[in-house]
Structure 1
Amino acid sequence: MYQEERLLSIMDFLKENNRISVDQICSLFDVSRDTARRDLVRLEEEKAIVRTRGGAILPSVHDEVKNYTKRLKTVSEEKKKIGKMAASLIYPNDRVILDASTTVQACAEQIESIDCTIITNSINQAEVLSSKPQINIQLLGGTLQKEHRFLYGSSVVEKLSEYHVDKVYIGVVGISENGLTIAHEEDGVVKRKMIQQAKQVIVLADHTKLGITDFFRFADLQDIDLLITDKTPAKEFRELLSKNNVEILTADFEEGDV
């Protein structure tokens, strides 16, 4: 077997088993330990593996968080249904904080033009809501994160401390036993303060976010009151939420339903 063929087979083995040892390479491909080590060196140079004592593992893979405009183009029907259910929970005279996530924007787009107050650090949410004449909009001022279109910084956090609201709607990159996580610390710091200022904390997350842990933890599961998602979570995850007194609302998505 040529080296190129062997390297492909080693990668296939890693994808199924997550790790491989020098001894396993020798046994699987009937080669010497020196040859096995040379194969691993080659794969390491190509950044395909991480070498360990006596073998190799696959490198950690982190999904790229696309910029806000690109994420808006891929807002799914699942997110729209989550947003519709979330919007139905906003009543006249409510005071509500909306964060800067695309799932929360799906909510903003479907809020009726009723007499309520919306506070947000998202220039997109403010623009969407500006077409609804009865809604009072409070846009938090701060430093603009241009790629993801949210305002952050000490001025945002300080201003938030002045508000006490009925509900906050929070989007996440991941929600798991490790809590609520996000890709950017500056975004997470603002979300953390938003949560502190609300009587009811509502997290909007489609099923792809459940069980995921990302870079920066900004809240614990026990900080949440309600999770709105698109599919009924697995039993283990439901039990985790129940243990932390988190209620679940599911906007079931039927295939072909638009």
Structure 2
Amino acid sequence: MYQEERMQLIMDHLANAGRISIEEICQQFDVSRDTARRDLIKLEEQDLIVRTRGGALLPSPIQEFKNYKDRLVTVSEEKKKIGKLAAALVRKGDRIILDSSTTVQACAEFLHAENCTVITNSINSADLLSEKESVDIRLLGGILHKEHRYVYGASVIETLSHYYVEKAFIGVGGVTTDGLSANDEEGKVKRKMMEQAEMVIVLADHSKFGRNYFYRFADWSLVDVIITDQLPSTSMMDFFEQHQVEVLVPDSSEEQEELS
């Protein structure tokens, strides 16, 4: 089978399932892992997929939007990779919640799903999304944190209780086996956001692991997926497997060399 034929069949699979693993490509097409990776690299170069460490996701359709990048508050490359992968999980017509963390703000930057409704307490994310015609925005009202440009308080939590969404994207200050932590006012809002979602997706770069903040706002029973920039330790991966938390890591050249 020619590579072009195989790539088309991979895209057909993604159209139905939304994601594919290296192992599935090897089994379905009787090819080596190196061949499977080369197929995914070529598909990514054509902006048809988003690669993860173990395979690929089908991104939502990308549209052209001007000027919004100029207003993005600077975040690290690690956070942008996490945000791009998170945005690829949003499907057409989804109703989602975005919290006020900078990593989740990176998700807003890459969000291109059509007819998507976003509920957020982040002024920065709402500003970014205002440039996207296909996104409907619900900006929550409450007490404004002037430095970090988000709203919090009892009115935010009360308003959230009236919404039900497919996905909530939550940033954290710390990640341990005990749960997720942040400051107390942010944490109370994050907790309510998680309770209102069918699927909870936590975004956390590697620096957040092993850290505890002042307020623990959730345990792992509320989490479905965690997206991070580096594969966690073996003990942490075992913990996630026990608690049925799926781990997604953006692909990179270093990870490709490790897998070779």
Instruction: Determine if the TM-score, normalized by the shorter chain, exceeds 0.5.
Output: yes
Q: CA deviation at 1:254?
A: 4.0
Note if contact 1:82-1:103 (Cα within 8 Å) is conserved in structure 2: yes
**Map of 1:242-253 to 2, 5 A cutoff?**
242-253=241-252
Contact 2:180/2:219 (CA < 8 Å) preserved in 1? yes
Aligned to 2:220: 221
Q: Does 1:158 align with 2:158?
A: yes
Instruction: Give the conservation status (yes or no) of the 8 Å contact 1:113–1:132.
Output: no
For 2:149 and 2:253, the matched residues in 1 are separated by 32
Q: What residue in structure 1 maps to residue 234 of structure 2?
A: 235
Specify the alignment match of 2:130 in structure 1.
130
Post-superposition offset of 1:172: 0.4
Letter aligned with residue 144 of structure 2: L
Write the distance in 1 (CA, Å) between the matches of 2:250 and 2:113: 22
RMSD between superposed Cα atoms in Å: 1.6
Give the aligned length: 184
Does the residue aligned with 1:159 lie in a helix, a strand or coil?
helix
TM-score, normalisation: structure 1: 0.69
Q: Which residue of 1 aligns with 2:172?
A: 172
Corresponding residue SS for 2:83:
helix
CA distance in 1, matches of 2:242, 2:135: 36
SS of structure 1 residue aligned to 2:163: coil
The structural deviation recorded for 1:125 is 0.6
- The residue aligned with 1:8 is none
Give unmatched runs, 5+ long, in structure 1. 1-70
> Residue 166 of structure 1 aligns to which amino acid in structure 2?
E
In 1: Cα distance, 2:113 partner to 2:191 partner: 28
The equivalences for 1:88-127 within 5 A come to 88-112=88-112, 114-127=114-127
**What is the CA–CA distance in structure 1 between the aligned matches of 2:213 and 2:79, rounded to whole Å?**
20
Q: Distance in 2 between matches of 1:253 and 1:217?
A: 32
Give the CA deviation at 1:113.
5.4
Overall identity of the aligned pairs, in %: 54
Q: Tell me which residue corresponds to 2:199.
A: 200
Distance, in Å, in 1 between the alignment partners of 2:186 and 2:237 is: 27
Q: In the alignment, is the contact (CA less than 8 A) between 1:170 and 1:203 conserved in 2?
A: yes
Evaluate the alpha carbon distance shift between residue 113 and residue 166 of structure 1 in structure 2; reply closer, same or farther with a 3 A threshold: closer
Unaligned stretches of 5+ residues in structure 2? 1-71, 255-260
**2:210 match:** 211
Distance 2:251 2:226 in 1: 13
1:43-58 equivalent positions in 2, closer than 5 A:
none
Give structure 1 regions of 4+ aligned residues with deviation exceeding 3 angstroms. Answer: 252-255
Verify the 8 A CA contact 2:92 2:113 in the aligned structure 1.
Answer: no
Measure, in 2, the Cα distance between the counterparts of 1:253 and 1:78: 11
Name the counterpart of 2:187.
Answer: 188
Is the Cα–Cα contact under 8 Å of residues 97 and 165 in structure 1 kept in the other structure? yes
Secondary structure of the residue aligned to 2:155 is helix
Bigger CA radius of gyration = 1
After superposition, give the CA deviation of every residue in 1:204-253 in whole Å (9 maximum; x if it has no partner): 01111112211110000121000001111110110111121111011134
Amino acid in structure 1 at the alignment position of 2:214? F
Structure 2 partner of 1:55: none
Length-normalised TM-score, structure 2: 0.68
Whichever residue aligns with residue 154 of structure 1, its letter is A
Match of 1:138, SS state, is strand
